[in-house]
């Protein structure tokens, strides 16, 4: 009996075409926004995100845990501040 032609979920191995690799590895848009500092996920990085961060500062995981390290702290504020400054230009 021959092995199945396809098994398991799609993953990218060394022989994966670059175009398919990009598709599989493309980030979730919402997650990307959060990583760029959009804590409240309204597609903008502004004072509201800093206000949101202040409300969660010193706490554990939150929507303002931008770097997803399970703590909401100054490192997350820095990311928001940089993204905000970048958005102004
Ligand atoms: Ca926002
Ligand atoms: Ca964090």
What's the CATH code of the domain at 45? 1.10.1330.10
C-beta separation of 37 from 84 below 8 A: yes
Domain that includes residue 81, residue range: 28-88
44 Cα to the center of ligand 1, angstroms: 4
50 Cα to the center of ligand 1, angstroms: 9
Confidence of residue 1 (pLDDT cuts 50, 70, 90): low
22 Cα to the center of ligand 1, angstroms: 27
pLDDT of residue 9: 56
Q: What is the spatial distance between Cα 61 and Cα 41, in angstroms, rounded to a whole number?
A: 16
68 Cα to the center of ligand 2, angstroms: 5
Four-residue CA torsion sign, 35, 36, 41, 46: positive
- Nearest ligand atom owner, CA of 33: 1
Query: Is the full-model pTM beyond 0.75?
Result: no
The domain total for the chain is 1
- What DSSP character marks residue 4? P
Residue 4 lies in a domain: no
pLDDT digits (tens, 9 = 90+) for 6-27: 555 566 566 777 777 777 677 6
pLDDT digits (tens, 9 = 90+) for 15-71: 777 777 777 677 676 667 677 899 999 999 999 999 999 999 999 999 999 999 999
Residue 36 lies in a domain: yes
């Amino acid at each position: 009996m021959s092995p199945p032609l396809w098994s398991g979920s799609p993953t990218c191995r060394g022989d994966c075409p670059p175009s398919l690799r990009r598709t599989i590895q493309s980030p979730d848009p919402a997650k990307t926004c959060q990583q760029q500092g959009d804590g409240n996920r309204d597609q903008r990085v502004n004072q509201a995100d800093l206000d949101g961060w202040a409300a969660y500062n010193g706490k554990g995981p939150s929507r303002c845990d931008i770097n997803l390290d399970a703590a909401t702290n100054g490192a997350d504020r820095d990311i928001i501040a940089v993204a905000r400054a970048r958005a102004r230009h």
